Chains A and B, each alone.
Chain A
Amino acid sequence: MNDKNKIITGLVIFFLVVLFPFWFNLIFGTPGASTAPEAELTEKAKEAENCVEETQYMRAEHMQLLDQWRDTVVRDGKRLYMAEDGGKYDPSLSNTCMDCHSNKVEFCDRCHNYASVAPYCWDCHTYPEETE
């Protein structure tokens, strides 16, 4: 162990370089940038407690659900969605989703921006204008 000092210095430098993203973010990172934002619920959405399906499912699979809705409505003309718990809904983004989640900026955009996805729903589908 004649090169003890050299080895330890080398190891320190090695770990500094390898862990660069972590310590750099800890020191210079913008606070909050690394935590996923929470979608904000409107009063109406809070009251309903459940979305058309369970919250966990909606969070993970809402895009698949919307895809299914769009295909069955447009191509099969079926405009009644039977939820797993027996509820019946009009499968419509503008009329059903946005009825409760009328706060597009806080509900949709916040997470979409964080995840860097740009769904083009809003090119055609309307959402309630932000009041204020």
Chain B
Amino acid sequence: MENSRRRFLKTAGFSILGVGAGSILVGLETRSARAAGPGSDKGPVFAKAEEAREARRWGMVIDTRELDEQTCRKMQEECHRIHNVPDFSGDEHPRSSKHEIKWIWPTEFTHAFPGQEAEFLAEKLSHKPIIPVLCNHCDNPPCVQVCPTKATFKRESDGIVMMDFHRCIGCRFCMAACPFGSRSFNFRDPRPAIKDENPEFPTRTKGVVEKCNFCAERLAVGKQPACVEASGGALIFGDLEDPESDIRKLLADEYAIRRKPNLGTFPSVFYIV
């Protein structure tokens, strides 16, 4: 009697264990492999589009000899329209000038290249905002080093310094680290200040930093960056690591300077002045 009760309890216990474990295994088995996530063997497959432009290190040469104020403005307008950059100018807010957000903008030579002003600067360069400045997509980017959430990162494949707005916590370390002032902070909701929204590109939200992304979304579908298209040939875009590329040939022929080279960030944007 004692023995059989003991045996009964044992059997019952193991049966419950077996049924429980079995149902877990069945559940795991029937769960779609897609849920495993990218990177796992059975996970979903992603690819690059065939027409995507690829390079090992994207770079840009800006031939300022070919630029005038009007073209600079056109480039800025085109870039900001495509990327849903808000325009707070003409806003009633007393601090709206501090809220300005810009990805590319024309500035004067002395502001773009402090410390490199000649005493008798060429007439066309003095007091005219004809130097377009943007994120330099540095080879050694200080903004990436300081970002605590890796929201700003340098894409290993092509050297573009990018923002992941999903991750940005708005600490603005990157703004302090960037020696070029290429980054802007969304102090308030940008949406009301976007005139005609481009539905193909997301807007940003209050509390994130934003900057030029070298038109990564356009390169992915085989297009040139918007500013290059709008520049009428004054901006040349290409692979800095490819000695046969147009941009490298141009750099071999012309003397080009970079902004604040002494800081060792190795900008990928070159200027011919």
| A and B: interacting chains | yes
User: C-beta contact mask, A14-42 vs B, less than 8 Å → 1, else 0?
Assistant: 00000000000000000000000000000
Q: Is B148 an interface residue (CB 8 A)?
A: no
Q: Is A65 an interface residue (CB 8 A)?
A: yes
Docked Cα-Cα span, A72 to B164, in Å, equals: 11
Q: Closest Cβ of chain A: how far from B43's Cβ, in Å?
A: 8
Most buried by A among B32, B35, B46, B157: B46
Docked Cα-Cα span, A53 to B43, in Å, equals: 13
A80 touches B46 (CB 8 A): yes
Q: Among B32, B44, B217, which residue has its beta carbon within 8 angstroms of that of A82?
A: B44
B residues within 8 A CB of A68? 37-38, 43-44
Q: Among B32, B43, B49, which residue has its beta carbon within 8 angstroms of that of A57?
A: B32
Q: Closest Cβ of chain B: how far from A78's Cβ, in Å?
A: 4
Total chain B interface residues with beta-carbon distance under 8 A: 32
Docked Cα-Cα span, A120 to B200, in Å, equals: 18
B37 touches A77 (CB 8 A): no
Please give 13 more A-B residue pairs, beta carbons under 8 A apart, in addition to A77-B158, A84-B44: A53-B32, A64-B35, A70-B166, A76-B38, A77-B48, A77-B216, A78-B47, A79-B220, A82-B47, A94-B199, A95-B199, A124-B204, A126-B199
11 A–B contacts from the bound complex (CB under 8 Å): A57-B34, A74-B162, A76-B157, A77-B48, A81-B45, A81-B46, A82-B44, A94-B199, A123-B205, A125-B202, A126-B202
